Structure 1
Amino acid sequence: MTEAPDFLTATRTFYDAVAEDYSDRFRDLHAKLPWDRAVFALYAELVGPGGKVADLGCGPGRVTGHLASLGLSLSGLDLSESMLAVARRENPGIRFERGSMLELTHEDGSLDGVVSWYSSIHTPVEELPRLFAEFRRVLRPGGHALLAFQVGDEPKYHDRPWGHPVSLHFQRRRPEAMAELLTEAGFSVRSRTVRAPEPDLDEKVPQAYLVARAQA
C-alpha cells in the first residue's frame, strides 16, 4: 500500500484529535452567517432538486446536513475517522466514507455537484491542479463545484487547539488564482464572492466563495 503524503497524514492526525471540540465550536455557525446560507441556497438551486452532491472534506457533516435539508442528495467524505463518527451521529440518514479528495471512488461524470467547504486549504498549492482535475472528473458536464476558503497569502498556524497536542497550517488563497486553476481544470467560474471578515466570529481576513460549472 502506498503511504499517504505527509500533508494528508498531518491533516488526518489533527482532525482526529480535535473532532469533538471542533464540532461543538462550529455547530451553530450557519445561524450566524447569512452569507453562507445565501451561497448554499444559490448552489442548491443551480444543482437542482435531488442532485447528487459529494461534500469533500466534510468534517463533522455540518455543511452536508444543511445542503441535504435544501433538497440535494448528499454524501460525505473525510480523512478523519473521528470527524466521520461525529458526522454519522449528527446525520444518520447520510452516507459518509473515509478517503482523500485527491483519489475519489466516484465514477467519471457520476455527480451533479462537489463541495469543498474550507477543505482545499489543507492541499499544497502544487497539488491543486490535481485536486481540481479530480473534481472535474467526477462531475457530469454542467455539474457545479462550490469552494470556500480564507483570502490571503500567508498561512494561518493552529497550535494546540483546545489543548490538544497537535498543530497544522491552514493555507489562505487568492480568489483570482483559484479561479484560474479551476478554469484550467475545465470549469467556468460562474460566481466569485468575497466578504469582509466577521469580527464577532474572530475572523481576521476576508472569506471567499467560488461556484464553478463543469464544461463539456
Structure 2
Amino acid sequence: MTEPDFIVETRAFYDAVATEYTDLFRDHLGGAPVDRAMLALFADLVRTERPDARVAEVGCGPGRMTGPLHRLGLDVQGIDLSPRMVELAGQAHPEVPFVVGSMFDLPFRDGELTGVVAWYSIIHTPAERLPEVFAEFARVLAPGGHLMLAFQVGDVPSRQERPFGYPVTLDFRRLRPERVEELAGEAGLAVTSRTVREPEGEEPTPQAYVLARKPKA
C-alpha cells in the first residue's frame, strides 16, 4: 500500500535531523516547568485510574517525554514514524521499549491502554486526516483512559526548510484548542482540561495542552 506523501515527508525529515534534534532538545524539560507539571498531572491521572496503567507516547521522537514518563512510574512505550528517532530513543532510554509505527495504525488492541500522549506529534497531519488519528487514539484507550496533547496555537503553518543544512522540508501545523476539543468530542472523548500559556523565549506562538478522557461504560 502506498503511503501518503505527508507520512513519507515526515519520516524523511526526522530521519535526517534526528541527531541534531536530539542534541537540541536533550535538556528541554529542565527549563520547562509547565511541561513538567503537565506530565506529572497526566501520570497522576492514569495511575489513579489504574495503578498498573499501560501508556504510549505517540510520535515520541528521541524519547524526551517518554523517559520522564517512565521516571514518573508509568509503564510506557514510545512509538515514532522515524526509525532513526526510535534508534536514538532506545540508546538514551534503554529501560523503555520503543517501536517504529504510525499513529494511523497503533500496535495495540482495542482498549489496551490507560493513557496516550501525543506531544507536538499531531502537527504534521493534514487537517482532513486528523479525525482518523483521534479515532485511533480513542480505539486503543480503555474506558476511563486519558489522552494528553500538546501543540502550538495558531492558524498559519510554519515551514521548516533545509534544517541543519539537510535537503528536507516539513510543515509544522498550528491548531486552535477549540478545534482540538471538537476532534476529541467527535471521537467520543470528553475534554477535561485545556491550558494555554504564553510564548516563552524564542517560541513564536502560545502553547496549548489538552486533556481528554474516554467515558466509562
TM-score strictly above 0.5: yes
Q: CA offset at residue 3 of structure 1? A: 1.3
What secondary structure does 2:65 align onto?
helix
Q: 1: CA distance between counterparts of 2:18 and 2:11?
A: 10
Q: Contact 1:57–1:77 at 8 Å: present in 2 too? A: yes
Tell me if 1:143 matches 2:145.
Answer: yes
What secondary structure does 1:7 align onto?
helix
- Tell me the equivalent position of 1:180: 182
User: Structure 2 matches for 1:1-216, cutoff 5 A?
Assistant: 2-48=1-47, 49-199=51-201, 202-216=202-216
Q: 2: CA distance between counterparts of 1:148 and 1:124?
A: 16
Q: 1: CA distance between counterparts of 2:7 and 2:168?
A: 14
Q: 2: CA distance between counterparts of 1:3 and 1:80?
A: 17
- Partner amino acid, structure 2, of 1:119: S
- Partner amino acid, structure 2, of 1:209: Y
- Structure 2 residue runs without a partner (length 5+): none
Q: CA offset at residue 20 of structure 1? A: 0.4
- Partner amino acid, structure 2, of 1:28: D
- Structure 1 residue runs without a partner (length 5+): none
| TM-score, with length taken from structure 1 | 0.97
Q: 1: CA distance between counterparts of 2:107 and 2:119?
A: 19
What secondary structure does 1:40 align onto?
helix
| TM-score, with length taken from structure 2 | 0.97
- Partner amino acid, structure 1, of 2:103: M
- Partner amino acid, structure 1, of 2:43: A
Q: 2: CA distance between counterparts of 1:40 and 1:174?
A: 21
What secondary structure does 2:109 align onto?
coil
- Partner amino acid, structure 2, of 1:142: G
1:10-68: CA deviation from partner (whole Å, max 9, x where unpaired): 00000000000000000111011100001011100000044210110000001000001
Q: 2: CA distance between counterparts of 1:65 and 1:41?
A: 13
Q: Contact 1:117–1:147 at 8 Å: present in 2 too? A: yes
Q: Contact 1:50–1:71 at 8 Å: present in 2 too? A: no
Q: 1: CA distance between counterparts of 2:39 and 2:96?
A: 18
Q: 1: CA distance between counterparts of 2:127 and 2:107?
A: 23
- Partner amino acid, structure 1, of 2:210: L
1:159-184: CA deviation from partner (whole Å, max 9, x where unpaired): 11111111100000000110011011
How many percent of aligned residue pairs carry the same amino acid?
Answer: 55
Q: Contact 1:159–1:167 at 8 Å: present in 2 too? A: yes
What secondary structure does 1:142 align onto?
strand
Q: Contact 1:156–1:170 at 8 Å: present in 2 too? A: yes
How many positions carry a matched residue from both structures? Answer: 213
- Partner amino acid, structure 1, of 2:208: A
Q: How much is the aligned-residue C-alpha RMSD, in angstroms?
A: 0.7
Q: 2: CA distance between counterparts of 1:3 and 1:76?
A: 24
